[in-house]
Chains A and B, each alone.
Chain A
């Protein structure tokens, strides 16, 4: 087992190197530079822009820039944002708590909805409950978050005036008031994201359950005289959850990566909005850092999913 993990980790190194090289070259080849805003400003002579480019090493050949970046990254130096003129790791760490809170809550909400609904729907396939759950699930994952987000804002903020739609990083107040305010402002984004995720996950849980529920050992368990609840929870669910756990593990990097669209709509200062503004302003070091960390997490959680898979299902041996 440990040998397997070690081998997988070693294989991960060249793939991460490959990913970083592709990311870097694609970004370097992309048009535009971080100082383009200066171009139409008559107060700023072109020489200043040229000096800034030279200063941040943007005029060096691409491979040199990549090697610089790589060696810095190996030393734990994440680079320096051109736009904010501060360290990239500070920028990311500043935004990480908000992302974890909002996106994490949304994932939990999705699980809390998807598992019970999916399981119950699978126990009574084609019943009224199943039909309704299915229809809602289809509606749910057909509606994009930018649509539901704006719909929520119109209903709950503009018309009813119940919830704020601009997420504030530092809520005024302390103690209970602070907690309540933090929850209040997260309701809409969490609901939008969570329901969207829940919709597709419900379908997934339901079909995984249906696959297992028809197997002979389930009939045997029932024949033994076990109650419906015991059969479903102890015998069916445990096996049906194997693919679901893998799915969840693979979605964990997304919790870090944030949700670009939802963050933009509700002005949540998360990693997703950092990524999109950095892309728009050509702030390569930030884009590089975020995407690379994301790539690392994907590789890592893939490994975790594989390990979990073997642990949940001993028939699969990892060698």
Chain B
């Protein structure tokens, strides 16, 4: 049905009977996002639009200084060692990938001469290889030419386990070969529907072979270039003080015309989000501040008559409450929340459904996230083509109470439900973070009305998110009944985001709790759908499979999505940044400019 219709539409676009925009709009209407629509077209044989981002400046430089405020400053400048987005953001000022993700989720060629497609021979129908053509005439900041060897080296560097690069998974299961000086071919072991991962975005930054060749593998940390990057980017490196300052200056040999607009770039670190907002919006000391994790009320107040504004970009970051399918209070072989146990009440689907009816997402949005969030019933919220339209959510305490009654949990004398002498008490944990504690309070209130006793617990973020095997309070151990946090979606493709919840990934003592399936969700149909999607080369079928997976998570109430969070930044009124919710803040830094 959907499948057939889409196919005929793709043919229409190919033959010029339908324009690309109309196609994307139609797909958006049925729930597919722009990046997916474009990849559909690419695989369907239509060249991907080389996104024309409006860029009025007509000469290089002249924009004065660009002052960025990252309240957590970059601590290192090698994109393949970046432990957090802050490091990727800092590295990206100097290093570049073949392509970046633009605001609409399209691939935007940076070092690539063109985006691979079936039509230009870059993609093959079996999905097992990609051929990228490199833009000719690009030079490293030290004057050496950029060639295919640098890309092959970057792959070898990052995929070598001894290098201990964090980008390793973007480069494993493939080989990269040089076709000629300006062409590389990526050969995948398996059919890979999402081919735009290696050499694209933050982990895609290519590093110069001539400076890193001696520092591959175990000696990687000794490379002097780790702290003084030499890239191909719009800005040349000047100075770096970890956690405090990254400074760059216009690259006069930059490979894009009229770019960059700014003469110098400063990225200052430190402090907190609120005062960063103040420095941009109120006093105008800085042009742009990253990641405004500040209550909307505060931002609205600052924005009144200020020198700046907040900007929003949509990605796929989801804040959710996860439900534990196992019993956190029973210990088996030195392990609580063991897969061998069953949760005393959440093993009943009715109770899980009731729990989801008790989360008042509208109030959470109104009271906490404001413009920075959207309510959703889905775990998978983007790109559009992967977003399910089959789901819904509601907040209804009476309905929840009825479900609990049906499940046999009757109100006790003390107002708390019980069944077979067991009280319905649950432990709700999350990391210490203002908005999360407020969400906890909102949920607790509704639960109390429905006769569920909720104990709240907040764990310091550095513990909650750590992989410390000895600590009982980490999120993968999940020694609680429900827990809340956010999983960011780092690329416009759901493969990694959805693969976490297959049965073989269940977190357990055996795998030192490194399995990513922390709710300990086990569903054979889900496993099968993920397995099928992994190698499904037909984009339409693939999207359908992921939508099916999302619907299974919804049907089984594995997650209660609390908020689809947007990317919020503060920006001077005159600055025109290009921010994509699917990439790092600085992924399109070459296109930023200032209006007079």
The 0/1 profile, CB within 8 Å of A marked 1, for residues 227-247 of chain B is 100000000000101111101
For B169-198 the 0/1 string (1 means CB < 8 A from A) is 110000000000000000000000000000
Which residue of A35, A86, A265 contacts B271 across the interface (Cβ within 8 Å)? A265
Q: Tell me if A158 and B282 are in contact (CB < 8 A).
A: yes
Report the separation of the CA atoms of residues A264 and B247 in the bound assembly, to the nearest whole angstrom: 21
| B467→A48 contact, CB < 8 A | no
Q: Is the CB of A165 within 8 A of B243?
A: no
A77 vs chain B, min Cβ distance (A): 14
**Interface code B338-356, partner A: CB below 8 Å = 1, 0 otherwise?**
0000000000000000000
Q: CB-CB < 8 A to A86: which residues of B?
A: 76, 226-227, 242
B77 to chain A, nearest CB (A): 9
Cα distance A170–B244 in the bound complex, in angstroms = 11
Asked if B268 and A267 sit within 8 Å, CB to CB, the answer is yes
| Main SS at interface, chain A | loop
Q: For the complex, is A36 an interface residue (Cβ under 8 Å from B)?
A: yes
- Chain B residues whose C-beta falls within 8 Å of the C-beta of A83 in the assembled complex: 75-76, 83, 242
Asked whether, in the complex, the Cβ of B488 is within 8 Å of the Cβ of A40, the reply is: yes
Is there an interface contact between B463 and A31, defined as CB atoms closer than 8 Å? yes
- CB distance A39 to B244 under 8 Å? no
The B-contacting residues of A in range 33-74, CB under 8 angstroms, are: 33-52, 55
Bitwise interface map of B from 47 to 75 toward A, beta carbon under 8 Å scored 1, else 0: 00000000000000000000001001001
Q: How far is the CB of A280 from chain B (nearest CB, A)?
A: 6
B283 interface residue per 8 A CB criterion = yes
Contact check, A166 vs B286: say whether CB atoms are below 8 A apart.
yes
> Of residues 286 to 334 in B, which have CB atoms within 8 Å of A's CB atoms?
286
- State whether A169 touches B242 (Cβ < 8 A): no
Q: Tell me if B221 is interfacial: C-beta within 8 Å of chain A.
A: yes
- Range class of the A interface residue count: 35 or more
CB distance from B240 to the nearest CB of A (A): 9
A33 touches B268 (CB 8 A): no
Contact partner of B83 among A37, A51, A55, A91, CB < 8 A?
A37
Interface flag for B497 (CB, 8 Å): yes
**Is A164 positioned at the interface, with any CB of B under 8 Å from its CB?**
yes
State the Cβ distance, B289 to closest chain A Cβ, in Å: 10
B117 at interface (Cβ–Cβ under 8 A)? no
CB distance from B155 to the nearest CB of A (A): 16
Q: How large is the interface on B (under 10, 10 to 19, 20 to 34, 35 or more residues)?
A: 35 or more
Considering the complex, give the chain B residue whose CB is closest to the CB of A42. B496
Whether A161 contacts B467 by the Cβ 8 Å rule is no
The verdict on A81 contacting chain B, using a C-beta distance below 8 Å, is: yes
Cβ contacts A258-282/B at 8 Å (1 or 0 each):
0000001101110001100100111
A273–B283 contact, CB under 8 A? no
Q: Are B271 and A42 in contact (CB under 8 A)?
A: no
In the complex, what residue of chain B is closest to A34 when comparing beta carbons?
B83
Nearest chain A CB to B365 CB, angstrom units: 23
Which among A45, A158, A168, A281 is the interface contact of B168 at CB below 8 angstroms? A45
Q: Which of B75, B221, B270, B514 contacts A264 (CB 8 A)?
A: B270
A157 and B278 alpha carbons, distance in the complex (Å): 10
Complex Cα–Cα for A50 and B166 (A)? 11
- Bound-state CA distance A214–B476 (Å) is 68
Q: Answer whether residue B375 sits at the interface, using C-beta atoms and an 8 A cutoff.
A: no
What is the CA–CA distance of A166 and B285 in the complex, to the nearest angstrom?
Answer: 8
CB distance from A145 to the nearest CB of B (A): 14
A38 touches B83 (CB 8 A): yes
Asked if B500 lies at the interface with its beta carbon under 8 angstroms from chain A, I say yes
Q: How far apart are B64's CB and chain A's nearest CB, in angstroms?
A: 11
Could you tell me the distance in whole angstroms from the C-beta of A143 to the nearest C-beta in chain B?
19
Taking CB atoms, residues of chain B closer than 8 Å to A168 are 268
- B279's nearest neighbour on chain A, judged by CB, is A166
* CB of B285, distance to nearest CB on chain A (Å): 5
| A178 CB, nearest partner CB in chain B, Å | 16
Shortest Cβ distance from A80 into B: residue:
B221
A274 near B170 with CB under 8 A, answer no
Taken together as a complex, chains A and B put the C-alpha atoms of A10 and B203 apart, in Å, by 53
Name the prevailing secondary structure of the B interface residues. Answer: loop
Closest residue of A by beta carbon distance from B221? A85
- Return the chain A residue nearest B495 by Cβ: A42
Is B595 an interface residue when CB atoms closer than 8 A count as contact? no
CB contacts (< 8 Å) of B535 on chain A: these are none
Instruction: Output the least CB separation between B493 and chain A (Å).
Output: 11
Query: Within 8 Å CB of B468, what residues of A?
Result: 31-33, 36
The distance in angstroms between the C-alpha atoms of A68 and B166, with both chains bound, is 26
Docked complex Cα distance between A80 and B76 (Å): 13
| A15: Cβ under 8 A from any B Cβ | no
Q: A51-B164, A85-B221, A269-B241 are in contact. Are A40 and B283 (CB under 8 A)?
A: no
Q: Is A84 an interface residue (CB 8 A)?
A: yes
Q: Which residues of B contact A55 (CB under 8 A)?
A: 164
Query: A84 is contacted by which of B84, B242, B282, B465 (Cβ under 8 Å)?
Result: B242
Task: Check: B536 CB closer than 8 A to any chain A CB.
Answer: no
Q: Which residues of A contact B497 (CB under 8 A)?
A: 42
Of A50, A84, A86, most buried by chain B (CB within 10 Å of CB) is: A84
Beta-carbon nearest neighbor of A158 in chain B: B282
B467 & A42 in contact (Cβ 8 Å cutoff): no
B8 interface residue, CB < 8 Å from A? no
Contact with A along B450-492 (1 / 0, CB 8 A): 0000000000001101111011010010000000011110110
A164 touches B466 (CB 8 A): no
Q: Which residues of B contact A277 (CB under 8 A)?
A: 72, 75, 243, 270
Residues of A within 8 A of B487 (CB): 40, 42
Choose among A41, A52, A269 the residue that contacts B490 (Cβ–Cβ < 8 A): A41
Task: Determine if B271 and A264 form an interchain contact, defined as CB atoms under 8 angstroms apart.
Answer: yes
Which residues of A have CB within 8 Å of B72? 277
A85 to chain B, nearest CB (A): 5
What residues of chain A lie closer than 8 Å to B167, measured between beta carbons?
Answer: 43
B279 close to A35 (CB less than 8 A): no
**Interface flag for B214 (CB, 8 Å):** no
> When A33-B467, A36-B462 are in contact, do A273 and B170 touch as well, CB less than 8 Å?
no
Q: Are A170 and B283 in contact (CB under 8 A)?
A: no
A48 and B169 contact, Cβ closer than 8 Å, known pairs A31-B473, A84-B75, A91-B242: yes
**With an 8 A cutoff between CB atoms, is A94 at the interface?**
yes
Please, how many angstroms separate the alpha-carbon atoms of A265 and B80 in the complex?
Answer: 31
- Asked if A158 and B272 sit within 8 Å, CB to CB, the answer is no
A52 and B69 alpha carbons, distance in the complex (Å): 29
Point out the residue from A42, A47, A265, A280 that lies within 8 Å of B462, measured CB to CB.
A280
| Cα A159 to Cα B270 with chains together (Å) | 23
Question: When chains A and B are docked, how far (Å) is the Cα of A166 from the Cα of B68?
Answer: 12
For A249, list chain B residues within 8 Å (CB). none
B504 at interface by CB-CB < 8 Å: no
Closest to B83 in A: A37
Interface check B161, CB cutoff 8 A: yes
Report the minimal beta-carbon distance from B234 to chain A, rounded to whole angstroms. 20
- In the complex, 24 of the A-B residue pairs with CB atoms within 8 angstroms, ordered by the A residue number, are A32-B463, A36-B462, A39-B465, A40-B485, A40-B487, A41-B490, A42-B496, A42-B499, A43-B490, A48-B164, A48-B166, A51-B164, A83-B75, A83-B76, A86-B76, A94-B241, A95-B241, A153-B278, A158-B278, A161-B283, A165-B278, A169-B244, A170-B247, A265-B275
Chain B interfacial positions (CB closer than 8 Å to A): 69, 72, 75-76, 78, 81, 83-84, 161, 164-170, 203, 221, 226-227, 239, 241-245, 247, 268-272, 275, 278-279, 282-283, 285-286, 462-463, 465-468, 470-471, 473, 476, 485-488, 490-491, 496-497, 499-500, 514, 516
5 closest pairs, A vs B, by CB?
A46-B514, A269-B244, A42-B496, A36-B466, A84-B242
18 other A-B residue contacts (CB within 8 Å) besides A42-B490, A42-B516, A48-B165: A31-B473, A33-B468, A36-B468, A40-B488, A42-B496, A42-B497, A42-B499, A43-B167, A46-B467, A86-B242, A153-B275, A158-B283, A165-B278, A267-B270, A269-B241, A269-B244, A273-B244, A281-B75
